[in-house]
C-alpha cells in the first residue's frame, strides 16, 4: 500500500521498526533548521490547522498495521514537518488507539507546547521526543530559524509544562552542528535548560544525511568528546541507522519515493528496495530515470550519495 499519510516501517535508532505517520503536507513547518534532512522550509507555517482528514489518516494507518503483520515497534507521528501544527493531531492519535494498543511516539521540534491544546494533543502518546538543541536565544535562532513569534523562553516553558502534565515519557534529542552549538558555553547553557525540563531520556544526534545548508556539518571528534563529557547520560545516535526498509513487491518505485519524502535514503538503501524485483542493473536504471525525471535528487554528503525528493520552491516567509 502506497499512502501519502503513512510510510515504512523504517529502521529508527530510537524506535526500532517505526511506522511513520504524516499528519500534514510535505515541509509544513514553523522552523527552517539548518540541519534539516528535508531541506529548507519554503514558507514558515505559523498557525495550526487541519491539513488532512482525520478519518483518511487513521484508515491508512490501520491498513498499514494490518499489512505489516506485527513488524512494528512504534507508530511514530512525525511526517514532513512539525506534526503539532496539525490541529487534529490528537484526534488522529485517538483514532489509532482504537485498534492499536502498542507503543506510539511523537517526534516534534517542541516549539508549540506552550499552548494547552497542543499539550492535550500529546496525551495519547507513550513517548514525546522534542528537539532540545540550544540554551540561549542567539543559538536557538541561528540553528532553527524560527518565526519572530517564537522565543526560546516560550519553548522551554512549554516543554516544562508538558513534562509536568504528561503521563508518558519525554525523550529529548540534541542535534549538534559544528560551530553552531558545540562550544563549551553552548553545551553548558543546554545543560541548564535540560535541568529545567527534566526529560526521561536524552539522545545525541548529528547530521548524518544531507542537511538544508551545506555548511551544517557534524562537530569534530574533539567537540563530540566534550559533548559526552557534559552529557554522560546521553545515548549516542551519531551513527547511521541500520536495518531493512519495508519492501512491497508491487509499486516499489512509488514506495521508495514515499519513504524518501521523509527519510532521505542512502544509495545502498535505495538499491536494496528496488533490486529484489529489478536486479542491480534494473535498480540502477530505475534510480537514474527517477533522477532524470526530477522525482528524486541525488545529494552527496560526507562521501555518501543520498536520494531525497525535491521540494517545490516557494519564497520563505521570514
CATH code of 167's domain: 3.20.20.70
Per-residue pLDDT reduced to its tens digit, 253-306? 877 887 888 778 888 888 777 766 666 677 888 888 889 888 898 888 877 888
Higher pLDDT, 36 or 80: 36
Per-residue pLDDT reduced to its tens digit, 93-126? 999 999 999 999 999 999 999 999 999 999 999 9
What distance in Å separates the CA atoms of residue 247 and residue 225, rounded to the nearest whole number? 38
In a domain, 206, yes or no: yes
Confidence of residue 241 (pLDDT cuts 50, 70, 90): low
In a domain, 286, yes or no: no
Q: Is the torsion defined by CA of 310, 313, 314, 316 positive or negative?
A: positive
What distance in Å separates the CA atoms of residue 276 and residue 255, rounded to the nearest whole number? 14
Mean pLDDT of 183-191: 96
Q: Are 3 and 60 in contact (CB under 8 A)?
A: yes
The pLDDT score that the predictor gives to residue 245 is: 53
Mean pLDDT of 21-48: 92
Give the Cα-Cα-Cα angle 213, 219, 222 (nearest 5 degrees). Answer: 165
In a domain, 62, yes or no: yes
**pTM for the full model?**
0.78
In a domain, 116, yes or no: yes
- Arithmetic mean of pLDDT over the chain: 88
pLDDT of residue 202 exceeding 70, the answer is yes
In a domain, 278, yes or no: no
* CA 294, chain centre distance (Å): 23
Q: Are 106 and 129 in contact (CB under 8 A)?
A: yes
The pLDDT score that the predictor gives to residue 247 is: 47
In a domain, 257, yes or no: no
Range of the domain at 30: 6-246
The pLDDT score that the predictor gives to residue 38 is: 83
What distance in Å separates the CA atoms of residue 23 and residue 160, rounded to the nearest whole number? 24
The pLDDT score that the predictor gives to residue 313 is: 38
Per-residue pLDDT reduced to its tens digit, 126-160? 999 999 999 999 999 999 999 999 999 999 999 99
The pLDDT score that the predictor gives to residue 286 is: 86
In a domain, 160, yes or no: yes
In a domain, 269, yes or no: no
Per-residue pLDDT reduced to its tens digit, 148-157? 999 999 999 9
**Per the structure, how many domains does the chain have?**
1
pLDDT of residue 231 exceeding 90, the answer is yes
The pLDDT score that the predictor gives to residue 123 is: 96
Q: Which helix (H) or strand (E) holds 307?
A: strand 304-308
pLDDT of residue 240 exceeding 90, the answer is no
The residue assigned the cell 512525525 is 78
The pLDDT score that the predictor gives to residue 3 is: 75
Amino acid at each position: 500500500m502506497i499512502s501519502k499519510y503513512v510510510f515504512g516501517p523504517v529502521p529508527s535508532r530510537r524506535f526500532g521498526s517505526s511506522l511513520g505517520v504524516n499528519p500534514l503536507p510535505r515541509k509544513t513547518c514553523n522552523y527552517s533548521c539548518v540541519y534539516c534532512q528535508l531541506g529548507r522550509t519554503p514558507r514558515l507555517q505559523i498557525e495550526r490547522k487541519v491539513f488532512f482528514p482525520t478519518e483518511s489518516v487513521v484508515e491508512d494507518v490501520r491498513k498499514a498495521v494490518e499489512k505489516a503483520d506485527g513488524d512494528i515497534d512504534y507508530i511514530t507521528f512525525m511526517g514532513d514537518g512539525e506534526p503539532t501544527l496539525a490541529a487534529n493531531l490528537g484526534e488522529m492519535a485517538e483514532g489509532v488507539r482504537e485498534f492499536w494498543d502498542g507503543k506510539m511516539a511523537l517526534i516534534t521540534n517542541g516549539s508549540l507546547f506552550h499552548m494547552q491544546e497542543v499539550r492535550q494533543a500529546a496525551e495519547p502518546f507513550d513517548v514525546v521526543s522534542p528537539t532540545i538543541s540550544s540554551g540561549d536565544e542567539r543559538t536557538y535562532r541561528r540553528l532553527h530559524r524560527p518565526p519572530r513569534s517564537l522565543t526560546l523562553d516560550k519553548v522551554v516553558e512549554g516543554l516544562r509544562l508538558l513534562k509536568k502534565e504528561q503521563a508518558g515519557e519525554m525523550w529529548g534529542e540534541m542535534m549538534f552542528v559544528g560551530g553552531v552549538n558545540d562550544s563549551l558555553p553552548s553545551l553548558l547553557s543546554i545543560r541548564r535548560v535540560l535541568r529545567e525540563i527534566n526529560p526521561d531520556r536524552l539522545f545525541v544526534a548529528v547530521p548524518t544525511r544531507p542537511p538544508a545548508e551545506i555548511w551544517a556539518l557534524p562537530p569534530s571528534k574533539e567537540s563530540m568528546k566534550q559533548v559526552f563529557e557534559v552529557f554522560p547520560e546521553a545515548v549516542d545516535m551519531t551513527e547511521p541507522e541500520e536495518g531493512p526498509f519495508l519492501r512491497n513487491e508491487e509499486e516499489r518505485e512509488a514506495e521508495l519515493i514515499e519513504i524518501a519524502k521523509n527519510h532521505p535514503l542512502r544509495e545502498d538503501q535505495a538499491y536494496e528496495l528496488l533490486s529484489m524485483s529489478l536486479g542491480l542493473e534494473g535498480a540502477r536504471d530505475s534510480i537514474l530515470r527517477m533522477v532524470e525525471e526530477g522525482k528524486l535528487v541525488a545529494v552527496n554528503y560526507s562521501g555518501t550519495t543520498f536520494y531525497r525528493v525535491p521540494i517545490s520552491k516557494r519564497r520563505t516567509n521570514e
